[in-house]
Chains A and B, each alone.
Chain A
């Protein structure tokens, strides 16, 4: 079945560092891909999405590009802030209505 694999955390970076969180997927057909973010004590919220190959999703300085050839959707940000500390989830939806999440990557940003 469809699945999402993302790098295990925690990831600890200093403020203004470059961030990459890797995500790869296994799916038939052409899934839609998402990154969600979860701040402490809250539910998940959508960060960005891409619906077809080579699409780039972006929001709040974060970017991810849908790479069908490598089945990847890596999350990047050029300069992280302390306020970016959270748990990040990669996810996909496919032909059915199910939303499949990766296990999440905890990010700590040090001032």
Chain B
């Protein structure tokens, strides 16, 4: 069985500052993929960033980067220069092995304050 844990239900950050969202996971698979999805209020869920477990280098996408600690099974998302449009619910998710099904964490609500 796979599990994804997001222990912080809510966070708040001042515009232009940096915030880190934490996520831990557990899987018995050797080959797996990790994702952060963003779901703004009343809007579509979109992929923010992905990380292949076999890659040691941390993924980055513009202001978004991850800190992937494979041994610790940790996958945190760092948002730099936070913008008002970053206000959303963020879900950490895992796909393992040949399975295509996503295991989601409970999500964290991020509010960016002006």
B partners with A: no
